[in-house]
Chain A
Amino acid sequence: MIGRLWAIAYNTFREAVRDRVLYNLILFALLIVGSSALFGQISIEINRIVLINLGLTAISLFGIVIAIFIGIGLVSKEIEKRTLYTVLAARPVRRWEFITGKFLGLVMTLTVNALLMSAGFFAAVMYVSHGLGRGDLQLVVAIYFILLEFVLITALALLFSTFSTPVFSSIFAFAIFAVGTFAQDLRGFASMTPGMTRWIMTGASYLVPNFASLNVISQVAHDTAVDPKLILLNTLYVLIYAAAVMTASVWIFERRNLK
């Protein structure tokens, strides 16, 4: 089982790399170098804040876009091109193994991409701050949260991919990411509404993925420490949420006729 999962995951990773997904790194490098050069002329302090905000946001957004655009095709493209026929029809591969392998492959791609970006980002931070301090460990926490974001959005994109077309899947995925970014506001809004609406709104606000709690970019840019409890809670939250979404994906895919 592990061998099959790894084979599918590695094939997904290899496909992304050969389809030149990592070319986004060039754009990222240009963005970081350009912003460092531009804002470096204002002051060292502002330059650092801008660089951290811009760098981490870019790592996050680049990854989210890649996760959605690849994730929505992970299953639907395989069905459309009939490449999964030869995998599921005549190999001892269970459907859940296929789904999980594809998921792990995309998460692996996003992680490698994010780590390469992070290397460039830290190099830029070192350049503007003339070295790294202990406080910069918070940047690692922010990047870890970004990786958790990728796990969530990949699971969601994969879920949509199991039953919808790529166009609708991308719309759903972007919409749920946008709503999830405002999950905290949604909860605040729900608490202000009366009666039945309050229950419905509260339920909906807890149902959407809470991307807001994973975004600590602004906080770490201003050298504010992240509560260690949040690291644990966010990790558990993402693991449970992603597992639930993956279970739903498998449940749908196990019952699907591959016409």
Chain B
Amino acid sequence: MAFRVERSKRQFSGRSRSNWLTRNEPSAIILTKQMAAIEIDGLEKSYKTGFFGNRFIQGLKPLTLSVEEGEVFGCLGPNGAGKTTTLKLLLGLVFPSGGTARILGCDLSDIGVKRLIGFLPEQPYFYDHLTALELLDYYARLSGVDPRERKHKVDKALARVGMIDSGKTQLRKFSKGMLQRVGIAQAIVHDPKLVLLDEPMSGLDPIGRREVRDLVQELNEEGKTIFFSTHILSDAETVCDRVAVLNKGELKGVGVVADLLREVSGEVELVWSGAQAIPALSALGARCHATGEVVRAVLPERLLEAALDAMRASHARLTSVTPVRATLEDYFLARIGEEKPNEVNA
């Protein structure tokens, strides 16, 4: 019996968050339980500060989060929000002050699970005495890639990031964008199931960002789970199934992108001809803007009926009613904007 497994955004397009993937058959919907790629339960991190180390800074407040297998998950937040700390905790680079986490069903202390993980650090810097080929060969060796497959996998990873022609060049001669590509290649050279990317679009030009976005989607289509942190919201909106918003080490919201946007949108735009309805709609609190005969008004969705009544009463000729589409930036600013973060890059 054949059925289609919906991938990418469609898997998570429902309103409620769940641990289930949807398989669509012509006449039925079958739900199959999936293992979470990342399960975070109350994970937190405090750092000692001060001369005697007797003061503490909480880099990450207790965080509970789950990333499903096959999902592209974005971790958003301004600088200092706790995104990189979360990644470092997951990867065992720093030790948690509390809480637990599991990756692909394994405890963080299980060194074997790291064969299944790829990681691109923020602003990667690699051994610049090596060529790109040597670097990838080194990482493939450390990952335990079969020696018979190593060369093939190294070449394949370099080709995927468009760097096959620069394979024999030492990394010290690479530009920042080229290093970022090599960084992505090393993260996927051993064909991991889970790829963690810390600010993968950082420092790239628009073409480079587009290529990385495409690559993320390609990897996802191959079945890999992608967890990436970013402060470039448009990129997250384009590729993520779900996002989490962090600020000052605290989770501010998590969910399917479309659902989150609905939380901050809720506005409609009315377009009509003739100026006669403007006073009535302005009285309802609509923001009106006239261009010649054409008038546009934006108002909360809950006031739509009252606005339509007012227009009928004014004998205005309605041209269109369109929901105003919110962006992730709107959600982001609504969630953390009032807290005045140190820096918000959108």
**Interface, chain A (partner B; CB < 8 A):** 3-4, 7-8, 11, 14-15, 18-19, 81-83, 85-94, 255, 257-259
Say how far B248's CB is from chain A's closest CB, in angstroms.
18
Bound Cα distance A18, B131 (Å): 11
Say how far A101's CB is from chain B's closest CB, in angstroms.
10
On whether the beta carbons of B127 and A89 are closer than 8 Å, the reply is: no
A sample of 11 inter-chain contacts (CB < 8 A) reads A15-B129, A82-B123, A83-B127, A86-B119, A86-B139, A89-B93, A89-B114, A92-B114, A92-B143, A92-B144, A93-B142
Question: Which of B94, B124, B187 is close to A259, meaning CB atoms less than 8 Å apart?
Answer: B94
- Provide the residues of chain A in CB contact with B112, threshold 8 Å: 92
Residue among B138, B139, B143 with most chain A CB within 10 A: B138
For residue B95, CB closer than 8 A to chain A, the reply is yes
Bound Cα distance A81, B124 (Å): 9
On whether the beta carbons of B111 and A94 are closer than 8 Å, the reply is: yes
On whether the beta carbons of B93 and A257 are closer than 8 Å, the reply is: yes
On whether the beta carbons of B142 and A258 are closer than 8 Å, the reply is: no
Question: Which of A81, A83, A90, A258 is close to B114, meaning CB atoms less than 8 Å apart?
Answer: A90
- Provide the residues of chain B in CB contact with A92, threshold 8 Å: 111-112, 114-115, 142-144
On whether the beta carbons of B125 and A89 are closer than 8 Å, the reply is: no
For residue B192, CB closer than 8 A to chain A, the reply is yes
Within 8 A of A (CB), among B264-281: none
Bound Cα distance A18, B170 (Å): 11
**Interface, chain B (partner A; CB < 8 A):** 47, 88, 91-95, 111-112, 114-115, 117-119, 121, 123-127, 129-130, 138-139, 141-144, 183, 186-187, 192, 196
Name the residue on B nearest A254 (C-beta).
B95
On whether the beta carbons of B129 and A19 are closer than 8 Å, the reply is: yes
- Provide the residues of chain B in CB contact with A90, threshold 8 Å: 91, 114, 117-119, 143, 187, 192, 196
- Provide the residues of chain A in CB contact with B121, threshold 8 Å: 82, 85-86, 89
On whether the beta carbons of A89 and B92 are closer than 8 Å, the reply is: yes
Say how far B168's CB is from chain A's closest CB, in angstroms.
14
On whether the beta carbons of A18 and B129 are closer than 8 Å, the reply is: yes
Say how far A185's CB is from chain B's closest CB, in angstroms.
38
Bound Cα distance A257, B95 (Å): 6
On whether the beta carbons of A85 and B111 are closer than 8 Å, the reply is: no
On whether the beta carbons of B126 and A86 are closer than 8 Å, the reply is: yes
Having A86-B183, A258-B93, one finds 7 other A-B pairs with CB under 8 Å, namely A19-B129, A82-B124, A85-B119, A86-B187, A89-B114, A91-B143, A258-B94
- Provide the residues of chain A in CB contact with B91, threshold 8 Å: 85, 88-90
Name the residue on A nearest B111 (C-beta).
A92
On whether the beta carbons of A88 and B125 are closer than 8 Å, the reply is: no
- Provide the residues of chain B in CB contact with A18, threshold 8 Å: 129
- Provide the residues of chain A in CB contact with B139, threshold 8 Å: 86-87, 91
- Provide the residues of chain B in CB contact with A8, threshold 8 Å: 142
Question: Which of B95, B123, B142 is close to A91, meaning CB atoms less than 8 Å apart?
Answer: B142
On whether the beta carbons of B93 and A91 are closer than 8 Å, the reply is: no
Bound Cα distance A85, B111 (Å): 15
- Provide the residues of chain B in CB contact with A86, threshold 8 Å: 119, 121, 124, 126, 139, 183, 186-187
On whether the beta carbons of B111 and A258 are closer than 8 Å, the reply is: no
